[in-house]
Amino acid sequence: MTTAPQLVVHRDKELMARAAAARLITKIVDAQASRGAASVVLTGGRNGNGLLAALAEAPARDAVDWGRLDLWWGDERFLPEGDPERNVTQAREALLDAVPLDPERVHAMPAADGPHGADVDAAAAAYAEELARAAGPENHGPVPTFDVLMLGVGPDTHVASLFPELPAVRETERTVVGVHGAPKPPPTRVTLTLPAIRAAREVWLLAAGEDKAEAAAIALSGAGEIQAPAAGARGRARTLWLLDSAAASQLPRDLYPPASA
């Protein structure tokens, strides 16, 4: 069962990042209080990294027990370890290097100079196996139940590295696949698939900026997931779009309350 999208519109992208960071802190703290741990999937891109940078500065940041947080990625650029364009590199710079995470619980996607070499499909299969190992009997299928899975939304409605009409968005069985020829550079990537994304309790889609207005309107107007992958990104308990006014500017007004003050 997946959930209809809820929308929260913020005055601007800075406020959206700060509010989303506060929302994530609360979600992690609640999960750790009720289950003893929390599991979050990070996203790359400006909005994803903006949220992490805001979290690093958040007054309540260290209410999180960083040692009991599992971090996964929704996608990764298939580049050598340490490449500045890798999502994990940017996440480390924005937040991860500043907090006391348990390195065993930080699950970066394989790099292009790792054990699988340049074989992105083998790297994807290895990450799928890592996810399956982390899944327990209470989970839905071969991935752990993520408390929050975050996704930046591309101007073409892509999420993670699932691009409109390309093979990865059509995948219905595997949880992780390699992407060849992605329209957003770099062309070779590793990505969760929609079945893996939909295993999450909550899916949060981050869309800020004028360049996301058309994508948000398309994805929220009933478009199909093959043509608009963001439309297929739904959580089991909640699907939440976090936007700024610019990204919400083409949405019908009855879809959401007025932006925050």
Ligand X SMILES: O=C(O)[C@H](O)[C@@H](O)[C@H](O)[C@H](O)COP(=O)(O)O
Give the CA radius of gyration of the chain. Answer: 17
Residue 43 engages ligand X in binding (rule: CB under 6 A): yes
Phi, psi of 222 (to 5 degrees): 95, 10
Point out which span in 13-21, 64-72, 101-109, 150-158 binds ligand X (CB under 6 A).
150-158
How far apart are the C-alpha atoms of 261 and 256, rounded to whole Å?
14
Shortest reach from residue 243's CB to ligand X, in Å = 12
- Tell me the window of 18-26, 93-101, 135-143, 154-162 that interacts with ligand X (CB under 6 A): 154-162
Q: How far is the CB of 136 from ligand X (least distance, A)?
A: 27
**44 forms part of the interface with ligand X (CB under 6 A):** yes
* DSSP secondary structure code for residue 132 in this structure: H
In the list 39, 47, 188, 193, the residue contacting ligand X (rule: CB under 6 A) is 47
CB of 42 to ligand X, least distance (A): 9
Between CA 11 and CA 231 the distance in angstroms is: 23
Complex with ligand X: residue 158 or 198, whichever CB lies closer: 158
Comparison of 73 and 131: residue with beta carbon closer to ligand X: 73
CB 242 within 8 A of CB 8: yes
Among residues 116, 131, 123, 228, the alpha carbon closest in space to that of 178 is found at 123
Q: Is 32 in the site for ligand X (CB under 6 A)?
A: no
Asked if 87 touches ligand X (CB under 6 A), the answer is: yes
Is there binding between residue 45 and ligand X (CB under 6 A)? yes
Site string for ligand X, 163-202 (x = CB under 6 A): ---------------------x------------------
Pairing of strands 238-244, 202-207: parallel
Q: Which two tokens stand for residue 161?
A: 């590295």
- What type of residue is 23? R
Tell me the H-state helices in the chain: 13-35, 45-57, 87-94, 120-134, 194-197, 213-219
- Interface residues toward ligand X, by CB under 6 A: 43-48, 75, 77, 87, 152, 154, 158-160, 184
